[in-house]
Amino acid sequence: MGAAVQALVGAQWGDEGKGRVVDALAKEVGVVVRYQGGANAGHTVVVGGKKHVFHLLPSGMLYPNRLCVIGNGVVLDPEQLIKEINELDPAPGDIGTRLAVSRAAHVVMPCHKRLDAASEAFRKKNDPGSVIGTTGRGIGPCYVDKYNRTGIRAEDLVSPESLEKKLRLNISEKNPVLEKIYGEPPVDFESMYRQALEWGAFIEPYLSDSSLEIASAVERGEYVLFEGAQGTLLDVDHGTYPFVTGSNCVAGGCCTGGALGPGRIGRVIGVVKAYCTRVGEGPFPTEDRGKVGERLREKGGEFGATTGRPRRCGWLDMTALRYAVMVNGMDVLALTKLDVLSGMDELKVCVEYEINGKRVSVFPNSAYALEKAKPVYESFAPWKEDISRCGSFEELPSAARDYVSYIERASGVRVGLIGVGPGREDTIYRDF
């Protein structure tokens, strides 16, 4: 266990295995905080062969006595939160004291999901190249309201008067857009208001001042882990804009989305998959639409944990990883799904791009430049052995060790944890 306050972030386009690494760390931390994103996330933890998928609850929930915080930077989908709490298995009897939901978190309302779908359909009709392929969870429209200062916050769900006023105003702006721009039926104030109050009654016991919870835990010297959702390349500022999500997924996001002075972050953990995947639209230089991609998808079970969509797959991209290391200031890497590469006929890594005939080693954080990037590959010796039972680095075949060592050299960051299977026990620790 490294520093007391740590940020864990995805180094690629999401689904790197953040959930399982949070679970691995959760046995030692006291507090786990989600600080951005919403129910677009799907974080999988497998314990004793049983799969748990967290969309909104922090992935530390499976360990007893951990305080799990949903910070102000999260966009909260109460319907999903209630479902997730009710479906927790085994149900933690102490959830009332273990879950803290920020009063300042913005609420994803049904109209946000409607607008998300309608906007995607509008793009498809008017400019198919601009479709994002969102998760349909209302994320973008909810953040729009937040920054437009017309959003509904968790605290409003337990305050009928302010809720009524805010919701009326909000809907009176939204309905003309739904009807006149998108040709959709309007949303109904009464049913949304009633539903919001029901959500409020359920959520009230969990509402708290999350900044105070976090600050007090840090002050007490507890181990606090910030659990990033999505990934660096989906960050609204640093990702492949416009094919990104609506929040700051990078490590810096935890300072604003969870209330933390930047100087308090003791260690940044980057979670990186041994190859690359992406769900939704947008450039992906190493995508393989042939046999290699198919093989990675099949063996890696690369289907979305939130939407079930097949993930696009391809080789590891070091240009992108070096960029993720840079914008997050990563101190250590957790390398997941190394076992998926066992038995490949070939093994390649993108070391640079060629853009307009020129070699480029710096990741262009613009979708338009990245669309033109052709990967320059280096080949590595593949290995045939099943590595899922390997308990230490030394037990790995030499070709797998070489692959890991190369990633360390080329990224400049140590690999402290290696995933050789989805289960809690399928983990190699190297001074993590």
Which residues does the annotation mark as catalytic? Answer: 15, 43
Residues 21-40 that bind ligand IMO (CB under 6 A): 40
Q: Given candidates 200, 421, 428, 432, which one binds ligand GDP under the rule CB under 6 A?
A: 421
The nearer residue to ligand IMO, 133 or 343, going by C-beta atoms, is 133
Residue 126 · residue 133 · CB < 8 Å: no
Residue 280's binding partner among ligand IMO, ligand GDP, Mg ion, none (Cβ under 5 to 8 angstroms by kind) is: ligand IMO
- Taking CB atoms, the residue at the shortest distance from ligand IMO is 280
Smallest gap, in angstroms, from Cβ of residue 430 to ligand IMO? 24
Residues 156-185 that bind ligand IMO (CB under 6 A): none
The nearer residue to ligand GDP, 35 or 353, going by C-beta atoms, is 35
Residues 231-260: x where in contact with ligand GDP by CB under 6 A, - otherwise, as a string: ------------------------------
Residue 77's binding partner among ligand GDP, Mg ion, ligand IMO, none (Cβ under 5 to 8 angstroms by kind) is: none
Is 14 among the residues that bind ligand IMO (CB under 6 A)?
A: yes
Smallest gap, in angstroms, from Cβ of residue 243 to Mg ion? 17
Residues 325-354: x where in contact with ligand GDP by CB under 6 A, - otherwise, as a string: -----------xx-xx--------------
Q: Which residues contact 243 (CB under 8 A, 6 or more apart)?
A: 132, 133, 280, 281, 282, 283, 367
Q: Given candidates 6, 8, 11, 15, which one binds Mg ion under the rule CB under 5 A?
A: 15
Residues 386-415: x where in contact with ligand IMO by CB under 6 A, - otherwise, as a string: ------------------------------
Is 328 among the residues that bind ligand IMO (CB under 6 A)?
A: no
* HEC readout, the chain: CCCCEEEEEECCCCCCCHHHHHHHHHCCCCEEEECCCCCCCCEEEEECCEEEEECCCCHHHHCCCCEEEECCCCEECHHHHHHHHHHCCCCCCCHHHHEEEECCCEECCHHHHHHHHHHHHHHHHHCHHHCCCCCCCCHHHHHHHHHHCCCCEHHHHHCHHHHHHHHHHHHHHHHHHHHHHCCCCCCCHHHHHHHHHHHHHHHHHHEECHHHHHHHHHHCCCCEEEECCCCHHHCCCCCCCCCCCCCCCCCCHHHHHHCCCHHHCCEEEEEEECCEEECCCCCCCCECCCHHHHHHHHHHCCECCCCCCECEEECEEHHHHHHHHHHHCCCEEEEECHHHHCCCCCEEEEEEEEECCEEECCCCCCHHHHHCCEEEEEEECCCCCCCCCCCCHHHCCHHHHHHHHHHHHHHCCEEEEEECCCECCCEEECCC
Residue 71's binding partner among ligand IMO, ligand GDP, Mg ion, none (Cβ under 5 to 8 angstroms by kind) is: none
Which one of 156-164, 187-195, 239-247, 418-426 is the stretch in contact with ligand GDP (CB under 6 A)? 418-426
Distance CA(405)–CA(99), nearest Å, equals 39
Smallest gap, in angstroms, from Cβ of residue 302 to Mg ion? 10
Q: Given candidates 5, 7, 8, 15, which one binds ligand IMO under the rule CB under 6 A?
A: 15
Q: Given candidates 107, 292, 422, 428, which one binds ligand GDP under the rule CB under 6 A?
A: 422
Residue 58 · residue 22 · CB < 8 Å: yes
Smallest gap, in angstroms, from Cβ of residue 215 to ligand IMO? 25
Residues that bind Mg ion (CB under 5 A): 15, 42, 305
Residues that bind ligand GDP (CB under 6 A): 10, 14-20, 42-44, 46, 301, 305, 336-337, 339-340, 419-422
Residues that bind ligand IMO (CB under 6 A): 10, 13-15, 40-43, 132-135, 137, 139-140, 229-231, 234, 245-246, 279-280, 305
